[in-house]
Chains A and B, each alone.
Chain A
Amino acid sequence: MTQQAVLQVKDLHKTYNGNQVLKGVEFDITKGQVKAVLGPSGSGKSTMLRLMALLEPADSGEILLKGSRIGSREHKGKVLHLPERALAVQRQEVGMVFQRFNLFPHLSAVRNVMLGLTSVKGISHHEARAQAREMLQKVGLDNRADHFPSELSGGQQQRVAIARALVMNPSVMLFDEPTSALDPELVGEVLEVMENLAESGMTMIVVTHEVRFARRVANQVTLFDGGVIVEQAEPEEFFTNPQHERTRKFLSHVH
């Protein structure tokens, strides 16, 4: 029984300034799966996420959401990238959490979470506020709803960022090194929120350096290196019995 992939990339290529960052990546995730993506800096894992979130156009390859092509379309054998406004609509299905949170500093926490609902989904102010508060409660920040990002700790800001992405009801949540910019004491509260999210059945792709989290929460662990996927396996297999030399080398640095 093969479940249709929620998000899938085929033969993805991306070059920045003459530097080939993605060299033909094949990756997919099915509903309810949690996949952790590990790898050294510059290996292309964050780039893959950004391309999946349609924040940047791929040079070649396909991105499929629930089987349909997004980000580009084919016309008479040529690949045409969709214009910004069409991309904006497609992006609603993919939630993204950034390493540096990127909260809107001029809005309070609850308004940060509301903005997507009011300006993208056209939901009324009143209804949006209710949904936003509920989401903030889920991440444990209901009592900070009216605080501004500058008044929140890094861990709190990231949790608001997660709420902001979640409230849009995406089909898949992408996390780009969500705890890398946090002080160690604050990492736990964010990972806890993510673990709860995973347990509730959200489809998640998490690029992370938090190996213990990956081992505990992920259904599959993927190793990225040099613009390609080196190995993909279930956590126990991956960590105790890695198949590839590159994986073994990577893991030797980790513990």
Chain B
Amino acid sequence: MFFDPNIFFEQLVSVDYIKGAALSVAVAIVSLILATVIGFFMAIGRTAKQPYLRAPAHFYVWFFRAIPALLVLLIMWNALPQMIPALRADWFSPFIAASVGLGLVEAAFMSEIIRSALLSVDEGQALAGRALGMSPAKVMIKVILPQAIRIALPPTGNEFIGLIKYSSLASVISLRELLTTAQVGVNITFRYAEYYAAAIVYYLVIVSILSFLQNRLERKFAWTSKTAKAKKSADPAVATQVGIS
């Protein structure tokens, strides 16, 4: 039989697939958070004037942009425990190895996204903030970052979707994410078409939801009074106070 719809639909709603999908998304979320934090500091380091800040950042970005993510995952799961006994313990799960490994790799790319976003904020902005007497930290948090985040959103959304797919690499370190679930099923039943089709559907749904969320998030950064007014007029008390007519 070419394609058995029963098997397909059965797997589509199976607990295994749902768990696998959740794990893929979870890995992507954790590694993106890690990548953003590390990437931010690398971005600052790359644009710093002091050489002792620039050099480590340059090195990090150079190193992790070169090494394939798959190799990093294998190193995290196999090579590091070989050298560091503490990592042979039970708590060091494939999930942690995958999330941290992908996070480290993605940080190199996030640092470039963040760096270009920071650079593209008009330099008059920092000038105006400083002229008001704002401290450097306040200027960064209240003036620069909101504008940089808006610029960084589309490429970051891209990277997030990429991470969802990169999570499939974790199958080599025995993480039961989405693709692994399909592989396992296929190894038992040899019904390639049905199991892979189910995986395709899950990936499509996940990425569609993410694109929708990204769209909603980008609209919050539109900075127009039309969106703000819509929110305010919903609250009659505030509407009268600010005199919207």
Contact = CB atoms under 8 A, between A and B. Distances in A.
Nearest to B245: A143
Contact of B130 (A91, A105, A151): A91
A221 interface: no
Nearest to B149: A106
B121 to A, nearest CB: 10
A146 B143 contact: no
B195 to A, nearest CB: 47
Given A88-B135, A91-B130, A165-B132, A151 B232 contact: no
B242 interface: yes
A105 B132 contact: no
A55 interface: yes
Given A146-B225, A150-B223, A151-B224, A103 B128 contact: yes
Contacts of B147: 105-106
B135 A146 contact: no
B242 A120 contact: no
A119 interface: yes
Given A55-B127, A91-B130, A146-B244, A119 B138 contact: yes
B125 to A, nearest CB: 6
Contact of B125 (A102, A164, A165): A102
A119 B244 CA distance: 26
A119 to B, nearest CB: 5
B221 interface: yes
Interface string A87-107: 111111011101010111110
Given A100-B124, A102-B127, A104-B143, A84 B135 contact: yes
Interface residues of A, number: 36
A90 B133 CA distance: 7
Contact of B124 (A85, A92, A102): A102
Nearest to B126: A102
Interface residues of B, number: 29
Contacts of B243: 143, 145
A88 B134 contact: yes
A168 B232 CA distance: 27
Contacts of A239: none
B85 interface: no
B132 A91 contact: yes
A115 B133 CA distance: 11
Contact of B132 (A148, A150, A151, A164): A164
Contacts of A98: 124, 127-128, 131
Nearest to A117: B132
B133 A108 contact: no
Contact of B221 (A53, A89, A106, A165): A106
B223 A89 contact: no
A214 B124 CA distance: 26
A120 B131 CA distance: 11
Interface string B129-145: 11111111010001100
The 6 A-B pairs of least Cβ separation, nearest first, read A92-B133, A102-B128, A102-B124, A116-B132, A96-B131, A91-B133
9 contacts: A90-B133, A96-B128, A98-B131, A106-B223, A115-B143, A120-B138, A143-B243, A148-B223, A164-B132
Interface of A: 53, 55, 84-85, 87-92, 94-96, 98, 100, 102-106, 108, 115-116, 119-120, 143, 145-148, 150-151, 161, 164-165, 168
Given A106-B147, A120-B138, 9 more contacts: A53-B131, A89-B133, A91-B133, A94-B131, A115-B142, A116-B133, A120-B132, A146-B228, A148-B224
